[in-house]
């Protein structure tokens, strides 16, 4: 059994682990302590494995676990990342100006202004208009695209439902009118890939807010693309948009960096897409198509994406502007494999995108 001294040590380790960002709640810690009772505590490897199977819950936890284990049981100085407070300042990293409450209120009343705002390029908004845009974004009501489900449910017409028909015959003992069933409709998965590199800076904040609104309404996975691909679905699940955006900003290490679209799309497909996230999904890529890497690689990866996904929609903030031609190396490579190339520089165009996704 575990003595009082080792018990404190084990609980302390779990505490350090939690500080390092592994989501081990009390239930997991209890399991760890129970597991410790079954293994040889003097063996470093046994303690390591007992902790790893009870305290970790996903592959992302494993590296943190290894570091914390080495620190706690090996005497290396633990490196705990500082936790940033949820402040407006951390959201400002997403290309946001100062927000003035009074002004946004006044703007919210002016309906005619809203009309103008809908068509205005997000990049050219004043801070007050930006605040108003957030309110308008929050009012969007996305409808998920549907696909035919595998399950059937009772219906007035359709195929004969032998189960319910038999059941009815069982109840009456006589042959009865046949019962029918039909396949259900289910929400199709939606995947949003948001380019957060330097050239997309004016749009990144609005697009992530848009992603947050969509994520609250339908099954969706959100990833950011920059110099690497980062999954922010979990962060955006937060109900409050400010907290969700702040959490996303903390999670993404490469805001306003360069773009290697081909490599990041490949990283997304390797890690998530091919396994199932992109399979039969509607995939929306928000990017201006500036590719610093090899455009041929991007073309290859978008082709791969197209083979997995139900629909691939590329949203380019510049596509709606006068004189736009898809000449950027990245977009040229991707274009043959896209189902749609849409504009995405204003609220109106984002709304049109939602209609397109809902119909997909």
Site for other proteins, rule CB under 8 A = 23, 25, 27-28, 31, 34-35, 38-40, 45-46, 49-50, 52-54, 56-59, 62, 149-151, 162-163, 166-167, 169-170, 173, 274-277, 279, 304
Residue 301 C-beta: closest distance to other proteins, Å: 10
Q: Give the whole-angstrom CA distance, residue 359 versus residue 193.
A: 19
Q: Give the whole-angstrom CA distance, residue 281 versus residue 176.
A: 42
Q: Give the whole-angstrom CA distance, residue 267 versus residue 229.
A: 7
Contact, 55 vs 14, CB < 8 A?
yes
Residue number, 105 or 275, with CB nearest to other proteins: 275
Q: Give the whole-angstrom CA distance, residue 274 versus residue 305.
A: 8
Q: Give the whole-angstrom CA distance, residue 195 versus residue 173.
A: 64
Residue number, 162 or 258, with CB nearest to other proteins: 162
Residue 276 C-beta: closest distance to other proteins, Å: 3
Residue 190 C-beta: closest distance to other proteins, Å: 14
Residue number, 39 or 136, with CB nearest to other proteins: 39
Residue 127 C-beta: closest distance to other proteins, Å: 36
Q: Nearest-CA neighbor of 233 among 223, 243, 245?
A: 223
Residue 275 C-beta: closest distance to other proteins, Å: 5
Q: Nearest-CA neighbor of 22 among 69, 73, 70, 57?
A: 57
Residue number, 191 or 350, with CB nearest to other proteins: 191
- β-pairing verdict for 159-160 and 180-187: antiparallel
Task: Tell me the three state secondary structure of residue 145.
Answer: coil
Residue number, 161 or 356, with CB nearest to other proteins: 161
Residue 253 C-beta: closest distance to other proteins, Å: 21
Question: Beta-strand (E) ranges in 246-295?
Answer: 282-286
Residue number, 53 or 138, with CB nearest to other proteins: 53
**Which residues pair with residue 187 across a beta bridge?**
146
Residue 312 C-beta: closest distance to other proteins, Å: 18
Q: What angle do CA 340, 341, 347 make, to 5 degrees?
A: 110
Residue number, 87 or 275, with CB nearest to other proteins: 275
113: Cα within 13 Å, side-chain hemisphere: 17
Residue 163 C-beta: closest distance to other proteins, Å: 6
Residue number, 136 or 303, with CB nearest to other proteins: 303
Residue 150 C-beta: closest distance to other proteins, Å: 3
Q: Give the whole-angstrom CA distance, residue 257 versus residue 331.
A: 19
Residue with tokens 């927000």: 99
Contact, 252 vs 232, CB < 8 A?
yes
Residue number, 58 or 322, with CB nearest to other proteins: 58
């Amino acid at each position: 059994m575990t003595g009082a001294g080792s018990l404190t040590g084990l609980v302390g380790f779990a505490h350090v682990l939690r500080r390092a960002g592994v989501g081990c709640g009390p239930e997991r810690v209890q399991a760890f302590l129970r597991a410790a009772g079954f293994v040889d505590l003097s063996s470093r490897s046994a303690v390591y494995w007992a902790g790893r199977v009870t305290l970790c819950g996903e592959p992302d936890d494993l590296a943190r676990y290894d570091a914390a284990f080495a620190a706690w049981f090996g005497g290396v100085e633990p490196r705990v990342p500082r936790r940033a407070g949820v402040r407006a300042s951390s959201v400002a990293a997403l290309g946001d100006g100062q927000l003035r409450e009074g002004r946004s209120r006044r703007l919210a009343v002016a309906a005619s202004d809203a009309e103008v705002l809908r068509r205005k390029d997000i990049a050219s908004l004043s801070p007050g208009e930006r605040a108003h845009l957030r309110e308008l974004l929050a009012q969007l009501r996305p409808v998920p695209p549907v696909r035919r489900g595998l399950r059937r449910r009772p219906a007035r017409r359709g195929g004969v439902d032998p189960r319910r028909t038999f059941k009815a015959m069982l109840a009456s003992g006589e042959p009865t009118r046949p019962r029918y069933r039909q396949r259900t409709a289910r929400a199709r998965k939606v995947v949003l890939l948001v380019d957060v590199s330097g050239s997309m800076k004016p749009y990144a904040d609005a697009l992530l807010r848009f992603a947050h609104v969509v994520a609250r309404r339908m099954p969706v996975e959100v990833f950011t693309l920059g110099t690497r691909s980062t999954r922010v679905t979990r962060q955006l699940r937060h109900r409050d948009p400010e907290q969700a955006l702040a959490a996303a900003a903390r999670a993404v290490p490469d805001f306003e960096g360069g773009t290697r679209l081909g490599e990041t799309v490949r990283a997304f497909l390797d890690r998530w897409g091919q396994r199932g996230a992109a399979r039969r999904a509607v995939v929306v890529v928000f990017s201006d198509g500036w590719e610093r890497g090899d455009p041929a690689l991007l073309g290859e990866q978008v082709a791969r994406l197209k083979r997995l996904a139900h629909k691939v929609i590329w949203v380019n903030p510049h596509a709606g502007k006068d004189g736009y031609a898809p000449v950027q190396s990245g977009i040229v490579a991707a274009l043959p494999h896209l189902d749609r190339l849409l504009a995405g520089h204003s609220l109106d165009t984002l709304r049109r995108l939602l209609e397109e996704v809902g119909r997909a």
